[in-house]
Amino acid sequence: MSNRRKTKITKSINIAVREILQGNIIALPTETVYGLAADATNEEAVLKIYETKRRPLFDPLIVHIRSIKEMKKYAEEIPAEVYKLAEKFSPGPITYILKKKKVIPDIVTAGLDTVAIRIPAHPMFQKILAKCKVPIAAPSANMFGRLSPTCAEDVYKELKGKLNYILDGGQCEFGIESTVISFIDDTIKILRPGFITKKEIQKVLKKKVILVRIKSRHSKNKLTIYSPGMMKTHYAPKTPLYITDNIYDFKEQSNVGLLDFSNYSSLNEVAINLFSDLRKLDEQGFAYIVASKVKDSGIGVAINDRLEKASKGRVKMGKWEIKFSIKK
C-alpha cells in the first residue's frame, strides 16, 4: 500500500504548529535553506525525518531553539565563547556543537553525546518555535546527498507526496547551510564553513579556530559517525558536475550547462543563488554541468566547499577529464 499523500504549500503558521505538535513532519523556511522539521522531543516524529529524506541514522540533526537563554535547557558545560558568538551571530546562520542534555533523545543526535544547536532568525520559524514551545529538529529539506532547497517550490520538487505541508516563506536569505562550529575539544573547530566565516569568528573570540577538513569521527562503541557537512560528496545535482578553470571553454557545446556567476555582483549573491541555479541547470537534461571555483576567502570558502562536494571531485581541463579523490 502506498503511503503517498497530497502535499500542500501553505503560508499558515497555525497549520505548521498543529502538524509539529501532532508528531508530523513539515517543511519550513529558515534563513539558510528550507528545513524538514519535527518536534525534537518526539522520537517517532524525528524518525520520520530520517525515513523521508533517506538520511542514514548515523547522521545527527540540528536542533533549533528560540533564544540564547534556552541553550542551557538542552546543552551543558556551555563555554563562555559560545555566548560571545551567540550574542553577535544568533539568531542567525551558525550552529554550535555542545555537550548534550538527556532531554534531547539519542535519535536526534545519532547516539552522540553532543548536540548541534541553532537559533534560527527566520520570522516564521521563530513564531513556530514560540507557539510550539518545543525544540525543533530540522535538517535541510532535500533527499539525502542532494541539493538543498532554497524556496518552497524546490522543496515540493524534492519531497512531494512525502509530507502534508510545506510552509512557504519565500526565498531563503542566505541560500547556504549554517556554519557548524564545535566546542567539544580544547580547540574550537569549524566543521562546516558557512555564511559566518572563520575570520569573523576569530575576530569575536580573539583566538584562532580551526577549519576542519576531515569527515569522520570514531565513537568508543566502534561506530563511525560521519557528518554529511564533512562528507566528501554531498549537495549533488543528478547531472554530473565538473569543476573547470574557465566555463566559457564549453560555451559552444549545447549539451553542457554553464554554472555562470558572472552576473552576480558579490560572493554573497553567488551563495544565495548557488543551489537554485544548480537545480535549474539540473532540470535541463544536459550531459554535464561545468562550474569554476570562486576566490577561496570569506564566504568563498563555503561556496567552494559545496562546489567540491557537489562535483564529487570531477575536474575537466579542455579535453582532459580527471576524478580526484577529495582529501578532506
Is position 42 an interface residue for Mg ion (rule: CB under 5 A)?
Answer: no
If the CB atoms of residues 162 and 316 are measured against ligand AMP, the closer one turns out to be 162
Site string for Mg ion, 117-156 (x = CB under 5 A): -----------------------x----------------
Give the type of residue at 120. Answer: P
* Residue 96 or 250 with smaller CB distance to ligand AMP: 96
Instruction: State which residue, 95 or 140, has the beta carbon closest to Mg ion.
Output: 140
191 binds, among ligand AMP, Mg ion, none (CB under 5 to 8 A by kind): ligand AMP
Nearest residue to Mg ion by CB is 140
Binding site for ligand AMP (CB under 6 A): 59-60, 62, 97, 109, 112, 114-116, 139-140, 177, 180, 191-192, 227-229
| Pair 308, 317: CB distance under 8 Å | no
Q: Judged by CB under 5 A, does residue 32 bind Mg ion?
A: no
Determine, following the binding rule CB under 5 A, whether residue 30 of this chain makes contact with Mg ion. Answer: no
How many angstroms separate the Cα of 105 from the Cα of each of 44, 63, 70, 75? 10, 11, 17, 12
Smallest distance, ligand AMP to C-beta of residue 53, A: 8
Distance of CA 225 to the CA centre of its chain: 17
Least distance to Mg ion, CB of residue 196, Å: 17
What are all long-range contacts of 153-159, with beta carbons under 8 Å and residues at least 24 apart?
Answer: 153/9, 154/34, 154/275, 154/276, 154/279, 155/27, 155/34, 156/7, 156/9, 157/279, 159/7, 159/27, 159/36, 159/52
CB of 139 to Mg ion, least distance (A): 5
Q: Which does 28 bind (CB under 5 to 8 A by kind): Mg ion, ligand AMP, none?
A: none
Residue 16 vs 33, nearer CB to ligand AMP: 33
